A and B are shown apart, each in its own frame.
Chain A
Amino acid sequence: MKDFKDSAAREKVPFWLDPKKRAILFQLMTFAMVGLLAYYLTSNTLINLEKQSIATGFSFLQKESSFEIGESLIPYSAANTYARALLVGALNTIKVAFIGIVLTIILGTIIGMARLSTNWLLSKLAAIYIEFMQDIPILLQLFFWYAIFYETLPSSQEALNPGAGIYLSNRGVAFTIPEPHPAHLYMLLAFLVGCVIVYLIRRWARKRQEKTGQIFPVFLVSMGILVGFPLLTWWVLGAPLKMNVPKLGGFNFEGGLTVSPEFIALLLGLVLYTAAFVAEVVRAGIQSVSKGQREAAMSIGLRPVPVLNLVILPQALRVIVPPLTSQMLNLTKNSSLAVAIGYPDFVSVANTTINQTGQSIEGVALIMAVYLFFSLSTSVFMNWYNKRVALVER
């Protein structure tokens, strides 16, 4: 053994025959090539743009945008900067992506469960839905929902009134909302306090169950706290009941809360399309849990709901979460199709910005950066969640 070591040390291996050093060398070379390529592209572009006297840089962000945006979560007018316009667009994308993801998971789970149902009709209906929705391109679906909205619904003058304070027209859905009142802020605070208390109760209940085996009705008590606290606050602060009812102004409804046809069409299209994929993911996840697990759980006397909650789901989630993440990313990225039906998402606003400033390289770079940010943050969150549900090996 000793001899071998000595001979190895004596016989110097040239570095190109040493796999470790060679690997490092190759990696350095690749890195240098990528770096050089990036440098070449950037410098070359700058030279070319300079030659054609096309402006470069991000200073345009501070200029006045002078265009209006149809809907916005923050106050915005044409007098604001491009930076703010782009922020409005990004928030609109987040709005539709967030609501879309929540609804998609709910709908996808329901359809996935229905697909596995022993009820023949229910299961076949779910199968048809999945096949149908998966096979039609999302862009066509968006056009379809948008067209349905403006073609079938009446003008705002003849708006449908399906329930008290709700008006349906081709200008969107106008809702009655409570008039702003300071009490609302306190109600929100009460809700947050409720959340903290529910969290503490859950911990306490679990510990008690581990010690004594007694089960505490956590769900009912939690719901009571989450609903009751804000209601109580509202009542204590004088129960303000003033409502902001939408009224027909010159052209459109004024007051209340109006949800635009573009948003509804985009949301519907994204949710119905992605839910079909999520349903398949959920079905695959549940089917991956072997039958024996369910039978074993039943045989020790658990009822169907605890069987699902305590035995099937924790194992199914391990299979479900990774592909679910990719579906959520798909939904976010597909939301950029909004430009086709006039919803002012980030791409739409960035397009207008590119055209008015003529700085397409910066604009496209911003679009890429923003979507990369959305996707990475979704991934980070889902990976964290995946770690939580993943198999803990002991």
Chain B
Amino acid sequence: MKVFKCFTMVLMLLAVGSMAVAGTLDEVRAKGVVTAGVNPGVAGFSMPDEKGVWKGLDVDTAKAIAAAVFGDVNKVKYVALTAVQRLPALQSKEVDVLCRNTTATLTRETVNGLNFVHPNYYDGQGFLISNKKKVKTAKGLKGATVCTLPGTTTEMNAADYFRKNAMPWKPVVIESNAELNKAFFAGRCDVLTSDASQLAAVRSVAPNPDDYIILPEIISKEPLAPAVRHGDDQWYDIVNWTVMALIEAEELGITSSNVDEMLKSTDPQIQRFLGVNPGFGKALGLDEKWAYNIIKQVGNYGEIFDRNVGPKTPLKLDRGLNNLWTKGGLMYAIPFR
């Protein structure tokens, strides 16, 4: 059935007529919602809760885009996409933006016709393994059976890593996250490989989370970033600067709770950012309150991180690379000037 979905998307690709390309922003405004492609289920990034409400870091990024465009976080339509479906879905205009823990790569930006904005999470691929295996380093994985998802950069990274170190291994590639995790917990594989954040998410739902460790080696760079189609610079700018605004707000110390007070701030930087001194909104083709709406309704990057994946959540992830550049991380917003 996955094949059929893929097939329909291909058909849609075929059918996208030679009609004049209207800007994505106009289309989104006409529809009244931002259609965002999200992961069907990775705790902390995008997953429906028990009431069916989507939660997670990627979901909040999509909400921020809706806040910037409509001033309303609820104007998002979520489309759950598997790893295999996600690129065709964006290419065929089934979604306007992909907020689906997708790694920015050269191939995807060129051959696949996508553009990635500023990453909303810096990740790296690791290995999750049971304590019982008594393996302390990835170099000890010679001959191991490795569970992985299909159609991800993970598959290729793992192959590269084992090839570089001349270690034999056996992949078991299962399409759905749930089935893959079940097989791993039951011992079908020795290790599970994926982005470290996802491993933390998997461990958080393990029958006994303390039985599993993430090996110290991080074998790849995985800048996870929202993506848009080639050829619409305005829409790219809007998505990119939405992510930038989340980071800039944290840098400026603006949070969802103090944003109203900040409107009265005398700091010219904050005045420009929140649209008290207008200009940025018009430049992006948005309301002057766009950044205010994002922060008021979603919060800054730090708030989003803590709420979804931070130390107080089941994922217990450190800020690490995702801290602000002023605190030793990589989150660095280009100046709002």
Residues of A bordering B, CB below 8 Å:
41, 44-45, 47-49, 51-55, 66-70, 77-79, 143, 146-147, 150-151, 155, 170-171, 249-252, 254, 261-262, 336, 339-342, 344, 347-348, 351-352, 354-361, 364, 367
Contact = CB atoms under 8 A, between A and B. Distances in A.
A363 B169 CA distance: 27
A358 B3 contact: no
Contacts of A41: 14
Contact of A52 (B150, B190, B229): B229
B264 interface: no
A373 B155 CA distance: 29
Contacts of B283: none
A54 to B, nearest CB: 4
Nearest to B111: A55
A24 to B, nearest CB: 31
B300 to A, nearest CB: 33
B6 interface: yes
A55 B109 CA distance: 11
A171 B188 contact: yes
B317 interface: no
B150 A352 contact: yes
Contact of B159 (A45, A66, A252): A66
B187 A150 contact: yes
Given A52-B229, A55-B110, A342-B175, 14 more contacts: A44-B18, A53-B110, A68-B159, A170-B188, A251-B143, A339-B150, A341-B179, A342-B172, A342-B174, A342-B180, A342-B183, A351-B150, A355-B87, A364-B10
Contacts of B141: 251
A55 B112 CA distance: 7
A52 B112 CA distance: 8
Contacts of B144: 250-252
B187 A170 contact: yes
B146 to A, nearest CB: 9
A352 B13 contact: no
26 contacts: A48-B13, A53-B110, A66-B159, A68-B158, A69-B171, A70-B170, A70-B171, A78-B159, A78-B163, A143-B179, A150-B183, A150-B186, A171-B145, A250-B144, A251-B143, A261-B188, A348-B175, A352-B155, A355-B87, A355-B151, A355-B152, A357-B111, A358-B87, A358-B113, A360-B13, A361-B13
B188 A360 contact: no
B155 A360 contact: no
Contacts of A336: 3
B22 interface: no
A364 B7 contact: yes
Interface residues of B, number: 58
Nearest to B172: A342
Contacts of A352: 150-151, 155, 173
A336 B179 CA distance: 17
Contacts, number: 154
B16 A48 contact: yes
Nearest to A359: B111
Nearest to B153: A356
Contact of B84 (A45, A48, A340, A351): A351
A69 B172 CA distance: 8
B7 A340 contact: no
B217 interface: no
Contact of A342 (B9, B112, B155, B173): B173
Given A52-B229, A70-B170, A251-B145, A357 B162 contact: no
Contacts of B87: 355, 358, 360
A32 to B, nearest CB: 20
A70 B183 CA distance: 15
B108 interface: yes
Interface in B70-126: 83-84, 87-88, 91, 107-108, 110-113
A320 B156 CA distance: 47
Contacts of A171: 145, 188
A67 B143 contact: no
B155 A52 contact: no
A72 B142 CA distance: 19
A143 B229 CA distance: 36
B159 A52 contact: no
Contacts of B172: 70, 262, 342
B307 interface: no
Contact of B112 (A261, A358, A364): A358
B31 interface: no
A41 B151 CA distance: 27
Given A52-B231, A342-B174, A360-B13, A67 B113 contact: no
A340 B2 CA distance: 9
A250 B111 CA distance: 41
A356 B7 contact: no
Contacts of A51: 21, 231
Given A45-B13, A147-B182, A356 B91 contact: no
Contacts of B230: 52-53
Contacts of B162: 68
Contacts of B110: 53, 55
Nearest to A169: B187
A252 to B, nearest CB: 6
B17 interface: yes
Given A251-B143, A341-B179, A360-B13, A54 B169 contact: no
A53 to B, nearest CB: 5
B313 interface: no
B222 to A, nearest CB: 15
A98 to B, nearest CB: 22
A364 B6 CA distance: 8
Contacts of B171: 67-70
